Amino acid sequence: MAKQILVTGGTGFIGSHTVVELQNNGYEVVIVDNLSNSKIEVLDQIEEITGKRPKFEEFDLTDKNKVKAFFNEYSNLDAIIHFAASKAVGESVEKPLMYYSNNLNSLMNIMECMSEFNVKNLVFSSSCTVYGQPDQLPVTEQTPRKEAESPYGNTKSICEDIIRDTVAANNELKGIALRYFNPIGAHATAKIGELPLGVPNNLIPFLTQTVAGIRPELSVFGDDYNTPDGSAIRDYIHVVDLAKAHVVAIERLLNDKNKANYEYFNVGTGNGVSVLEIIESFERATGEKVPHKIVDRRAGDIEQIYADTSFANEELGWTAQSTLDETLSSAWKWQTNIMETEK
């Protein structure tokens, strides 16, 4: 009998790609999403790609009674992947209480029900923001966590602590936190990709929407950082590579290959790329020009960060496969597909 996985936030960008990979690997998937930053039509696209429609429940995970009712109904869950969270750095600086309330309460409600309903395995969507602005690069799993530069980043650190402490108090539970860097790109079919509601907070959807003429120009936040070209540096990973890391993490938990009840891994490419280099790569990969201007730095942003992924490569047997040009090309293919379908 196929293992059943709950994917919270499963109609979102990373969640939907992970659902595809799970279903392609024979897992039964149940999605819970409140559709606050995604569309129900994503279920159609997942079905088109995989030939199977995941089960779907629409509610807010901060509602403890609804979470409990869900676990009561779905009593055979083998594992949970928890994506559902508010995730914009800039917005979190402006609305910290909303971020703390949503991101912490949803996790605590899930973990309470895990204990009560005997669901033992959790993969958590964490972030490299837990490292703050690191003193040394690249960051390894041994790099000390620092005080976060934003409330969003701080919620990821606190959620990691909640998981660590909860599994320490209950030996039946196991958790893996995947600290990912900057997911970009889209599925090769161009049927799913990053489509935030409203004005995008992330670089790539804003960039592709600018090239598509939806936005007037791309703002590059700062050219006075201590980096080779002055723009901020990140580690950009193809979302499908990232999705596959979640499947590997689930298999590690279900097959009892975890070395401790709580583990955490960096999931990136190991390459630091600046914003201006992203623009160059996109133009090279697609032949399209990116209208852009330099503006002031953005609150909550750090100067540079990229991963040392050797621990994840060795322990999980997982490595990012896609080149930056391939990844950006997939993002543009997704954007042009959206425009075609909207005509």
Going by C-alpha positions, the residue among 16, 3, 18 that lies closest to residue 253 is: 3
Whether 341 and 201 have beta carbons less than 8 Å apart is answered as no
What is the CA 263 to chain-centroid distance, rounded? 17
Going by C-alpha positions, the residue among 26, 5, 36, 37 that lies closest to residue 195 is: 37
Per-residue 3-state assignment (H helix, E strand, C coil) for 36-77: CCCCCCHHHHHHHHHCCCCEEECCCCCCHHHHHHHHHHCCCC
- Distance, in Å, from the CA atom of 333 to the CA atom of 184, rounded to the nearest integer, reads 13
- Distance, in Å, from the CA atom of 320 to the CA atom of 268, rounded to the nearest integer, reads 7
Quick check: is 152 catalytic? yes
- Distance, in Å, from the CA atom of 247 to the CA atom of 255, rounded to the nearest integer, reads 12
Catalytic residue among 99, 131, 152, 180: 152
Going by C-alpha positions, the residue among 140, 122, 119 that lies closest to residue 131 is: 140
- Distance, in Å, from the CA atom of 283 to the CA atom of 226, rounded to the nearest integer, reads 24
- Distance, in Å, from the CA atom of 97 to the CA atom of 125, rounded to the nearest integer, reads 20
Whether 238 and 184 have beta carbons less than 8 Å apart is answered as yes
- Length of the chain counted residue by residue: 343
Active site residues per annotation: 152
